[in-house]
Amino acid sequence: MAEAMKDSKTRWLGQIPVDWDMARVKDCFDRKNKKANQKDPVVLSLARSGVKIRDISSNEGQLAADYTNYNPVAKDDILINPMDLVSGDNCNISRVEGVISPAYVNLRYKKGINPRFYNYYFKLQYWLGAFFAHGFGVSFDNRWTLSYETLSKYPLVLPPSDEQDKIADFLDEKCAEIDQLSEDIQNQIDILEEYKKSVITRAVTKGLNPNVKMKDSGAQWIGDIPSDWTTIPVKYCFTIENGSDPKTEDGDTPVYGSGSKSFKTCVEFKKGPTVLLGRKGTVNTPQYVEGKYWNVDTAFNTKTKGGYDLKLFYYAAQCFDYENYSTQTALPSMTQHDYYNFRLPLMPEEEQTTIVAFLDKKCNEIIESINMKRSQLQQLDIYKKSIIYEYVTGKKRVA
């Protein structure tokens, strides 16, 4: 027999069980907004994976000059990021004590309120875009914010206290199972990525004949090479150009570099094939581009001078020993000079073509497997969100 339902009078919630009520955030939670005034506080950060303790001694990321005005956080407080309503899932329940930036909203539950249940409920509001619909700001991409005045009046479902507990327990168990499956699949993806890199490294530096005589290349990242090969610096095979400044708009052409989702593109189209080398941040992930593209300020554009297959260089660039050359900060960077002085294994052009054909086929097979597993991750994520939606809104009931 179907459960009796009633109209929640909230569009994104729809029907709720007749024995559930509706309330507002301020009816169920108190906002903790006082200053901690702690001399050596445990500083917390809010992430999708949870509320984490920050290592402020490492000087990585944006650090505050003073933490005395940070808000104290207790276990089971719910932290909400009101400043990012676009990327989704910007809230979490804290399992640790510490302090956090007053830019976040810190909610403490009242009597009869299960914070674990409402942690799922608030996540749902991000996923549905419901918080986004109540935001304001200069633009959707620039600090689209949810004010606390709006949040305090935000509608909540209010199941009986014991049912909140049952739903929270059920979702904790079910989500843990899904998360474990997702972690296992992600581990498989990581193994496949490592396997792909090992296949590339071996083919690029050792060739395809396992019985060939070897010799020392003199380059650490290359190691031994076939005896009829040699090595050559990148600068003798390729020209590396700077990126361009954004000036004009064309939404159909891919943009490579910092802020590529929001850039208005640049002065003129470039046309591949080319290899784009990371200048900042993504220094170890070169891109092979065949069509039109914009190359903005954080990617180097590479052109061949002849004698070295461009696709082979793309594969080799995935194996460079970047840690010994790049500036190892929160945003690793490489210079043209460093790229130019990397040594490449040099073999006859016919052998270059054979290696590239082998790697194209082998890597495509591995990438196909990786993409299939990424699709599984996406399906698990959809499944997890659908379960949370169904039980948090009362469409399904815990037995």
Yes or no: say if 315 and 357 are a contact pair by the CB < 8 Å rule: no
How confident is the model over 342-387, as pLDDT tens digits? 999 999 999 999 999 999 999 999 999 999 999 999 999 999 999 9
**What is the rounded distance in angstroms from the CA atom of residue 378 to the CA atom of residue 325?**
36
Nearest to residue 267, comparing CAs of 292, 245, 298? 245
Report residue 308: phi and psi, to 5°: -140, 125
What is residue 137's predicted lDDT score, i.e. its pLDDT? 78
Output the CA angle 110-116-121, nearest 5 degrees: 95
Yes or no: say if 155 and 24 are a contact pair by the CB < 8 Å rule: yes
What is residue 235's predicted lDDT score, i.e. its pLDDT? 94
Pick the residue with more confidence: 329 or 231? Answer: 231
Q: Which of 170-174, 184-188, 303-307, 315-319 has the lowest mean pLDDT?
A: 303-307
For residues 331-339, average pLDDT: 83
Report residue 77: phi and psi, to 5°: -70, 145
What is residue 262's predicted lDDT score, i.e. its pLDDT? 42
What is residue 363's predicted lDDT score, i.e. its pLDDT? 98
**What is the rounded distance in angstroms from the CA atom of residue 141 to the CA atom of residue 252?**
19
For residues 83-111, average pLDDT: 92
C-alpha distance from residue 233 to each of 31, 107, 190 (Å) = 61, 58, 31
Work out the percent of the chain whose per-residue pLDDT is above 70.
85
Burial profile 193-210: b = 16 or more Cβ within 10 angstroms, e = fewer: eeebeebbbebbbbbeee
> Which residue(s) pair with 5 in the sheet?
17
How confident is the model over 181-193, as pLDDT tens digits? 999 999 999 999 9
Which residues have CB under 8 Å from 223's CB, separation 6+?
A: 205, 216, 217
Burial of 190: CB neighbours in 10 Å, binned 0-12, 13-18, 19+: exposed
For residues 54-81, average pLDDT: 78
At 330, is the pLDDT very low, low, confident or very high (cuts 50, 70, 90)? Answer: low
What is the pTM for the complete model shown?
0.83
* Intra-chain end-to-end CA distance of the chain, in Å: 13
What is residue 144's predicted lDDT score, i.e. its pLDDT? 80
**What is the rounded distance in angstroms from the CA atom of residue 354 to the CA atom of residue 352?**
5
At 260, is the pLDDT very low, low, confident or very high (cuts 50, 70, 90)? Answer: very low
Domains of the chain: 23-158 (3.90.220.20), 190-369 (3.90.220.20)
